[in-house]
Amino acid sequence: MILRVEYVYWLCGLVLVACALRELRAKRFAHAAFWGILAAIFLLGDVVKSMAAHGNALPEQIAGAGVIALGLVAGFLRRAPTVESAPESERRAASAARLGHRLFVPALIIPFGTLVFTLLQPFVRVGGIDQLGRADGTLLALGLACVLATFAALALTRAGARDAVTETGRLLDALSWAALLPMLLAMLGAVFAVTGVGEAIAHLTAAAIPVQSRLACVLAFAAGMVAFTVIMGNAFAAFPVMMAGVGLPLLIGQHHAQAAALGSLGMLTGYCGTLLTPMAANFNIVPAALLELRDPNGVIRAQVPTALWLLAINLLLIWFFAFP
């Protein structure tokens, strides 16, 4: 059996189908349509890609129409407040007290499992895993880690598969359209890079700062990463723009920065902006809603000192480690 990254997409699609059916049974038709459309995109994306490779552009247009439909349907989504019966609330509290910190084990399996599977990929000769590219291998590792974490959570809580689907649907209801923000904003960054926004940033930067100064270029790169992340809500969207506009032509090309160090530290610098923006709704707005905070921006206000200290430290790290 050859493992393919498409299996991860299909698994996501099946989970979304289950969530759509759950919403349909609850007669929440807008939610059912939203998750159903998204499930179709995940499940049929490989078919669209195959047909497009044979010169048929219509499937790609259909996929684009599906994305537009998601945007239209999202306007009708309403987050239903979570109402639990007294016995259910008591059962959850008793289960949490019994499990204690072991509840974090499934959550920790995801990052550590992804890291282990990614590092082992070149040495695994089963299922063609070693033949996958870096990006596909990492995504497949993430999928495997998530599956492993799901089984660990079921074993730990002694729950059933139906409970997993129910809780997944409840969490997606809480996140609503914000669950798609990381994917959409990452693609927005790629679109900006393709359409030449990075080149425009390069021209503006060259006109605004003394490009012969390494310090000025570092400050412009860091400030741009934070600013674009604040605007777009995701450092993944800001990274290709700022790397194409400042990182590659000025810091790497002119001041000879090390690409690996600059790339990793640049992404970390962008995350300072994630802490400061409501556009990162799944990080900053959804938690406030779930915790029922009086101030919807309370999470952002609490994170401002951390963001500023982190930005200052990142500037020092770039200065001392990105340049040989």
What distance, in Å, lies between the first and last C-alpha atoms of the chain? 46
| Cα–Cα separations (whole angstroms), residue 285 to 210, 224, 299 | 38, 23, 8
Copy the structure tokens of residue 256. Answer: 């000879």
Copy the structure tokens of residue 96. Answer: 């949490």
In this structure, of 36-40, 61-65, 226-230, 261-265, the range with the lowest mean pLDDT score is 61-65
| Cα–Cα separations (whole angstroms), residue 184 to 208, 218, 237, 254, 311 | 31, 28, 9, 32, 25
Copy the structure tokens of residue 81. Answer: 């407040």
Separation of alpha carbons 52 and 46, rounded Å: 10
Separation of alpha carbons 214 and 4, rounded Å: 44
pLDDT digits (tens, 9 = 90+) for 90-99: 777 777 788 7
Distance of CA 206 to the CA centre of its chain: 32
pLDDT digits (tens, 9 = 90+) for 68-109: 888 888 877 765 555 556 676 777 777 778 878 888 899 899
**Domains of the chain, residue spans:** 7-78, 85-159, 181-321
- Average pLDDT along the chain: 83
Separation of alpha carbons 223 and 234, rounded Å: 14
Separation of alpha carbons 297 and 113, rounded Å: 33
pTM: 0.70
State the CB neighbour count (10 A cutoff) for residue 44. 18
Percent of the chain with pLDDT over 70: 88
Q: Which carries the bigger pLDDT value, residue 203 or residue 147?
A: 147
pLDDT digits (tens, 9 = 90+) for 279-301: 887 788 777 776 777 888 888 99
What is the pLDDT at residue 168? 84
What is the pLDDT at residue 112? 94
